[in-house]
Each structure stands twice: as C-alpha cells, then as structure tokens.
Amino acid sequence: MSQEAVERILGRMITDRRFLCQAIESLQTASMQEGYPLSQIELRLLSGLDLDCITEFAGHLDPGLCRADGTRG
C-alpha cells in the first residue's frame, strides 16, 4: 500500500462516521470493502491506532469537512 492509501484510510476515519464505525468493528473488512487492501504489516500498524482519539478528533471537525450523507455523529 502506498502512503497515499494510508492517508486516504486515515482521512476516511476522521471524516466518515460510517467508515470509522466499520473500521472499529473490523479495519480489514472495512478497508477491503472500500477498495483499500492492506498488507499484514499495514493492518497491524493501523489497527494499533487509538480509535478513541480518532473518534474524539472527528467529533471536533466542522460538519462541512465531513461526508454529507448524515452519518457523522
């Protein structure tokens, strides 16, 4: 996976509440469903993130920066 793909996953986690919830349940499944295949090392590294911090940070974003489908919360 490229650095760009990692950044896209992180961006989706903070701007797309639905994706974040899916990633909390299973990052591997959420990433595959969205077309972001991860190597085992990348999956391990991204899975080690503090998702509570990401959730908190996402809650502070202006709604204009988040997905417009109403899934942000």
Q: Could you report the per-residue pLDDT of 9-68, keeping only the tens digit for each?
A: 999 999 999 999 999 999 999 999 999 888 888 889 999 999 999 999 999 999 888 987
Whole-number pLDDT of residue 13: 94
Do the domain assignments include residue 72?
no
With cut-offs at 50, 70 and 90, classify the pLDDT of residue 1.
low
Do the domain assignments include residue 57?
yes
Number of domains in the chain: 1
pTM reported for the whole predicted model = 0.81
Report the alpha-carbon angle 65-71-73, nearest 5: 75
Do the domain assignments include residue 70?
no
Do the domain assignments include residue 73?
no
Do the domain assignments include residue 30?
yes
Do the domain assignments include residue 31?
yes
Q: For residue 31, what are the domain limits?
A: 3-65
